[in-house]
Structure 1
Amino acid sequence: MLSRLMSGSSRSLEREYSCTVRLLDDSEYTCTIQRDAKGQYLFDLLCHHLNLLEKDYFGIRFVDPDKQRHWLEFTKSVVKQLRSQPPFTMCFRVKFYPADPAALKEEITRYLVFLQIKRDLYHGRLLCKTSDAALLAAYILQAEIGDYDSGKHPEGYSSKFQFFPKHSEKLERKIAEIHKTELSGQTPATSELNFLRKAQTLETYGVDPHPCKDVSGNAAFLAFTPFGFVVLQGNKRVHFIKWNEVTKLKFEGKTFYLYVSQKEEKKIILTYFAPTPEACKHLWKCGIENQAFYKLEKSSQVRTVSSSNLFFKGSRFRYSGRVAKEVMESSAKIKREPPEIHRAGMVPSRSCPSITHGPRLSSVPRTRRRAVHISIMEGLESLRDSAHSTPVRSTSHGDTFLPHINGATCSIEEEKESEASTPTATEVEALGEELRALCQGHSGPEEEQVNKFVLSVLRLLLVTMGLLFVLLLLLIILTESDLDIAFFRDIRQTPEFEQFHYQYFCPLRRWFACKIRSVVSLLIDT
């Protein structure tokens, strides 16, 4: 009898799983769920923890063992969807951006959407002109540290925050100027609301970019917004299709099809190719859900959608949830005392001298277990813990402010390590004495030690130059050759490499070509 009870108890424990969900302020919510618990159960637990009623705009995102992103489906088992070993880690993010964030009923909802868009700005997904970027950053500053105070905020105080992957001192001064002169007296809630109103006017508001290629092999980003389907290519938006013009979404393998019916019975089919079949299916499901949420009048109009025209073939999917119109109607009926909001902002400490001259602090809290710095080689996986996968390039004119993905600041720990490798004034003086002794021809053990030191420095220089040469050679092969090797192809397909290629390498190549032509023409003339 006792053995049966013990075995039953052990089986019960085996059916419980620990889940950790990273929230928008980078805090973590941990709970235990049963093996057969549905996604809706976990989501409801999370919303109860956040005291959130307008919850239909949000979702839980996770990455499977194959590094593919997914939105957690609420009607299916959490454990079966994740397909990974416990403990499970997921992220709470905005899934459907409100078409008018100012119309949200509760301040807690607006605050969470504010945190999401702040992350989008920091990760390079929300693009804007420099003037708009300064205003958005100033709103964040006002919301997090309050009114400007000359006693608390010394010269250059705005540089302690990292609002974008990279920005100039001129932009920092503009941010501080707006914060000092234009936003005084605004409460955090007012600043966040003004931030949302401004962000809503930008072309890439609500963009969740999916990297693809068109039929010509050119890189593109497909995205779904509250207003329709967009295609971003190069430095412009090449397609914007309203939701009522989209008649069908379909995929087969890595190929994604968008059927469009516009005025005057004009029908077109847009075809794009995703990196993998799994990525294409995720793109298709996101499109189905976004179209249902923003286009339909009632959730009763939702139908099961098939990815293929053939019966018994392809994937079948059905959006489960309320649509935007129903959500707004439900929000209007909310009647309760506004819940208390615990705002979390990374405010620089004035009492810590290492921060005064140290790295910028990110206004977006650092996601644990990964550094903020994003390299070209990491590709899409580097942003798997953020709300979306991929930064996008500019979609406006030449005065558009475009954050640089590789310009993110290092962590404080990394900064300390770099400082430790820098010689102090005493070490420099001692090094000078050793070199002078060497030049004067001193002999003995001291000369031998100096010789060893010089040789080690020369070896370090040679190794560094060799590494730089190899990196330069790899860069030339990646950008100029047509080698279709899987390793090179994967790097070329990353959006970070595309941005580096178009924004830096191509202008530099044109500059070198121009200089060479001018030198050749001078030689010919002489």
Structure 2
Amino acid sequence: MKMLRFRSPSLRSLDQEIQVTIRLLDDSEISCSIQRETKGQFLVDHVCNHYSLLEKDYFGIRYVDPEKQRHWLEPNKPIVKQMKSQQPYTMCFRVKFYPHEPMKIKEELTRYLLYLQLKRDVYHGRLLCPFADAAYLGACIVQAELGDYDQDEHPPDYIQDFKLFPKQSLKLERKIIDIHKNELRGQCSAVAELHLLQRAHNLETYGVDPHPCKDFTGSTAFLGFTATGFVVFQGNKRIHLLKWADVNKLKFEGKTFYVIGIQKEKKLVLTFHTSTPAACKHLWKCGVENQAFYKCAKSSQIKTVSSSNIFFKGSRFRYSGRVAKEVIEASSKIQRDPPEVHRLHFGQSRSFNSLSHKNLIINMEPLVPALPSTNENEADIGLGVGDPLGLLESVLSVLCSSAPTRAGGEAEGQEEEEEEEETSGVLTISELVYNPCASMLPTPVDDGQGGVDLLFQSPIQSPARLLRELHADPDIQAQLVAERVRDRAFERARVVGRSMLGSGLRLLSRNERVNTCVLSAVRLIAMVIGVLLVAVPMLLLLLESDIDVSFLHEIRQTPEFEQFHYEYYCPLRRWILCKISMVMERLGWD
């Protein structure tokens, strides 16, 4: 465990230092102590110094707040002001911007870290791929972890020890073994990782961090941002791809996210609804950052954007950092000796043995009665499932739908034989139901058994009450009937109170809108008056004074100023003086 303390020039006392734990891509952890004014960039630099990483612009630090909402740590803001959870803080070091062309990465260390991220994406169901690609990616991981196939060291079922995919079939494992034996022999770890990058970056879901939402029809969709542009998935199919050059604006209002662009020379407005305003704001920020990183040619072109066009309203945000083209150019200029890459051997990473089906059941038992604390899986794939009933249904869905543990039972053997006998189409990983929203679980939950819909529901009944209703005891049934009568009465009273409260809120809302319009008008008038108070004296100074300052002299010599002076200002001044003299004559003030 590596320790580092950041101290500001003010040298605050030790009791104000805060402990931070950062979980790395290989599931190891490093810690450091920060102070209240320490900004997010210090933690990024701390991790990069730990790795001796120079191509650090692709990476970021992510954390999860108490509401299970993910966030990227902003580098220019103090860490304490961003964190809403209790100390000590736990965060994760992850790939934030996936390189459009991984082959242009200069150093092997950077490619290895990207490989670790893609391995996680494959395991958690984010990187969907057809059967052939899945087998090749799995074989590359096995080759990088174990090296060449050795009949003496590797038993026939050695792939079963690897948990590579959310649902791993025997047919897929056999194909992985075949590729590992024949196609990848002789490749070192670095070459096998490079081949995985080459194959993975051509997949549609490469670099997609899926955000669950509902489209205008109420259907479940997943939004994502890639090096190419904005993408929308439904199930396992990409239904929209809007390139960054065609995206004009990204904005959000409450829980509604808008993508405004051009498609086939026509204006396009895509509307989506997220589960919470915080999720919508996070989605908007991710879109703004990805658009700036991949679209802009220089960081100087990046502008501060607003979430809305409403005057003096809306969130403002600006991506800070280098863009993709600048990162590639800087990488080509690296001249140092390549740093040593410390790879983990098989069994040292939690992505495999410790997340087997057996351990999964054991580790999930304490999650049912209470909400779990923030952990790695939340930071890695969490998208905000936070209520106990949703968690319970998710756990039951995974336990019911997960693949067998391959302990050697008769039922398992029958299922494998039936799978081998199927001839109605080729099995592909992408044909599985795609749902990366199980924030607490390493295996995606089928959408038909809860999934994304749990994000948009607010269940009334608790799990304990649902279980009580299963009993047929007359006393219990009578008690439940009485409870239901009380609930109906309470519901009627709540509806009446809500209607009265709604009338009051509508009146308040109308008054707030009027006050906002009045305030905006006052600000506009004040701005105009301020401009006049500055512009009019400056204009009189130019036209009437004899002050011969260099910049005033240059302005007076311009043709535009001379034309304005002789054709407009002089006649206007003569007319005003004439009117003043006529008034003075009438008043007898000659």
Same fold (TM > 0.5): yes
Is the 2:225–2:290 Cα contact (8 Å) retained in structure 1? yes
Structure 1: stretches of 5+ with no match in the other structure: 1-8, 350-358, 392-403, 416-474, 492-526
Structure 1 residue 389: Cα displacement:
3.6
CA distance in 2, matches of 1:146, 1:373: 38
Structure 1 residue 168: Cα displacement:
1.1
Equivalent residue, structure 2, for 1:118: 119
Is the 1:54–1:109 Cα contact (8 Å) retained in structure 2? yes
Is the 1:348–1:361 Cα contact (8 Å) retained in structure 2? no
User: Which secondary structure does the structure 2 equivalent of 1:70 belong to?
Assistant: strand
Is the 1:161–1:360 Cα contact (8 Å) retained in structure 2? yes
Instruction: Quickly say closer, same or farther: Cα 1:287–1:372, change in 2 above 3 A.
Output: farther
User: Deviation string for 1:2-51 (max 9, x for gaps)?
Assistant: xxxxxxx9971222111000000000010111110000111111110111
User: Deviation string for 1:393-442 (max 9, x for gaps)?
Assistant: xxxxxxxxxxx96666899xxx9xxxxxxxxxxxxxxxxxxxxxxxxxxx
Is the 1:162–1:361 Cα contact (8 Å) retained in structure 2? no
CA distance in 2, matches of 1:59, 1:345: 25
Instruction: Quickly say closer, same or farther: Cα 1:336–1:477, change in 2 above 3 A.
Output: closer
Structure 1 residue 374: Cα displacement:
10
CA distance in 1, matches of 2:332, 2:286: 27
CA distance in 2, matches of 1:405, 1:51: 39
1:216 counterpart = 2:209: no
Structure 1 residue 262: Cα displacement:
2.7
* Percent of aligned pairs sharing the same letter: 58
User: Deviation string for 1:152-176 (max 9, x for gaps)?
Assistant: 1111111111101121111111111
User: Which secondary structure does the structure 2 equivalent of 1:141 belong to?
Assistant: helix
User: Which secondary structure does the structure 1 equivalent of 2:54 belong to?
Assistant: coil
CA distance in 2, matches of 1:390, 1:323: 27
User: Which secondary structure does the structure 2 equivalent of 1:59 belong to?
Assistant: strand
Structure 1 residue 490: Cα displacement:
13
User: Which secondary structure does the structure 1 equivalent of 2:380 belong to?
Assistant: coil
Equivalent residue, structure 2, for 1:503: none
CA distance in 1, matches of 2:371, 2:167: 18
User: Deviation string for 1:466-525 (max 9, x for gaps)?
Assistant: xxxxxxxxx99979x9xx96128999xxxxxxxxxxxxxxxxxxxxxxxxxxxxxxxxxx
In the TM superposition, what are the counterparts of 1:457-472 in structure 2 within 5 Å?
none
Residue identity matched to 2:57: D
Equivalent residue, structure 2, for 1:280: 280
CA distance in 1, matches of 2:153, 2:107: 32
Instruction: Quickly say closer, same or farther: Cα 1:47–1:405, change in 2 above 3 A.
Output: farther
Structure 1 residue 216: Cα displacement:
1.2
Equivalent residue, structure 2, for 1:31: 32
Instruction: Quickly say closer, same or farther: Cα 1:348–1:58, change in 2 above 3 A.
Output: closer
In the TM superposition, what are the counterparts of 1:131-142 in structure 2 within 5 Å?
131-142=132-143
Equivalent residue, structure 1, for 2:521: none
- Kindly indicate whether structure 1 or structure 2 has the higher relative contact order, using CA contacts under 8 Å at least 6 residues apart: 1
CA distance in 1, matches of 2:183, 2:127: 23
Number of aligned residues? 393
CA distance in 1, matches of 2:344, 2:123: 16
User: Which secondary structure does the structure 2 equivalent of 1:117 belong to?
Assistant: helix
TM-score relative to the length of structure 2: 0.61
Residue identity matched to 1:181: N
1:76 counterpart = 2:77: yes
Q: In the alignment, which of 384, 387, 393 is matched to residue 380 of structure 2?
A: 387
User: Which secondary structure does the structure 1 equivalent of 2:180 belong to?
Assistant: helix
User: Which secondary structure does the structure 1 equivalent of 2:213 belong to?
Assistant: strand
User: Which secondary structure does the structure 2 equivalent of 1:220 belong to?
Assistant: strand
Residue identity matched to 1:339: P
Is the 1:166–1:405 Cα contact (8 Å) retained in structure 2? no
Structure 1 residue 310: Cα displacement:
1.5
Structure 1 residue 110: Cα displacement:
0.2
Instruction: Quickly say closer, same or farther: Cα 1:485–1:226, change in 2 above 3 A.
Output: closer
CA distance in 2, matches of 1:410, 1:77: 47
CA distance in 2, matches of 1:203, 1:107: 24
Instruction: Quickly say closer, same or farther: Cα 1:128–1:168, change in 2 above 3 A.
Output: same
Instruction: Quickly say closer, same or farther: Cα 1:34–1:67, change in 2 above 3 A.
Output: same
In the TM superposition, what are the counterparts of 1:69-468 in structure 2 within 5 Å?
69-264=70-265, 266-347=266-347, 384-389=377-382
Q: Which segment drifts farther, 338-347 or 43-52? A: 338-347
CA distance in 2, matches of 1:307, 1:39: 23
Structure 1 residue 385: Cα displacement:
3.7
Equivalent residue, structure 2, for 1:63: 64
Is the 1:59–1:71 Cα contact (8 Å) retained in structure 2? yes
Is the 1:246–1:259 Cα contact (8 Å) retained in structure 2? yes
User: Which secondary structure does the structure 1 equivalent of 2:13 belong to?
Assistant: helix
TM-score relative to the length of structure 1: 0.68
Instruction: Quickly say closer, same or farther: Cα 1:478–1:67, change in 2 above 3 A.
Output: closer
CA distance in 2, matches of 1:405, 1:100: 36
Structure 2: stretches of 5+ with no match in the other structure: 1-9, 385-396, 408-446, 464-590
Structure 1 residue 247: Cα displacement:
0.2
Instruction: Quickly say closer, same or farther: Cα 1:382–1:16, change in 2 above 3 A.
Output: closer
CA distance in 2, matches of 1:476, 1:214: 17
CA distance in 1, matches of 2:462, 2:210: 18
Is the 1:69–1:384 Cα contact (8 Å) retained in structure 2? no
* RMSD over equivalenced CA pairs, Å: 3.6
Structure 1 residue 387: Cα displacement:
3.5
User: Which secondary structure does the structure 2 equivalent of 1:487 belong to?
Assistant: coil
Is the 2:62–2:379 Cα contact (8 Å) retained in structure 1? no
CA distance in 2, matches of 1:144, 1:233: 34
CA distance in 1, matches of 2:245, 2:271: 19
Structure 1 residue 86: Cα displacement:
1.2
User: Which secondary structure does the structure 2 equivalent of 1:152 belong to?
Assistant: coil
CA distance in 2, matches of 1:260, 1:488: 40
User: Which secondary structure does the structure 1 equivalent of 2:173 belong to?
Assistant: helix
CA distance in 1, matches of 2:142, 2:460: 41
Structure 1 residue 311: Cα displacement:
2.4
Instruction: Quickly say closer, same or farther: Cα 1:262–1:48, change in 2 above 3 A.
Output: same
Instruction: Quickly say closer, same or farther: Cα 1:55–1:408, change in 2 above 3 A.
Output: farther
Residue identity matched to 2:274: A
Structure 1 residue 268: Cα displacement:
0.9
Structure 1 residue 84: Cα displacement:
2.0
CA distance in 2, matches of 1:340, 1:155: 34
Instruction: Quickly say closer, same or farther: Cα 1:370–1:269, change in 2 above 3 A.
Output: farther
Instruction: Quickly say closer, same or farther: Cα 1:373–1:127, change in 2 above 3 A.
Output: farther
Instruction: Quickly say closer, same or farther: Cα 1:120–1:232, change in 2 above 3 A.
Output: same
User: Which secondary structure does the structure 2 equivalent of 1:128 belong to?
Assistant: coil
Is the 2:304–2:316 Cα contact (8 Å) retained in structure 1? yes
CA distance in 2, matches of 1:315, 1:263: 31
Larger radius of gyration: 2
Structure 1 residue 312: Cα displacement:
1.6
CA distance in 1, matches of 2:250, 2:39: 27
User: Which secondary structure does the structure 2 equivalent of 1:284 belong to?
Assistant: helix
Instruction: Quickly say closer, same or farther: Cα 1:410–1:10, change in 2 above 3 A.
Output: farther
Structure 1 residue 380: Cα displacement:
13
Instruction: Quickly say closer, same or farther: Cα 1:374–1:210, change in 2 above 3 A.
Output: farther
Equivalent residue, structure 1, for 2:54: 53
User: Deviation string for 1:255-309 (max 9, x for gaps)?
Assistant: 0000011343x11100000100000000000000000000000000010000010
User: Which secondary structure does the structure 2 equivalent of 1:337 belong to?
Assistant: coil
Structure 1 residue 388: Cα displacement:
3.9
Equivalent residue, structure 2, for 1:486: 458
CA distance in 1, matches of 2:247, 2:181: 46
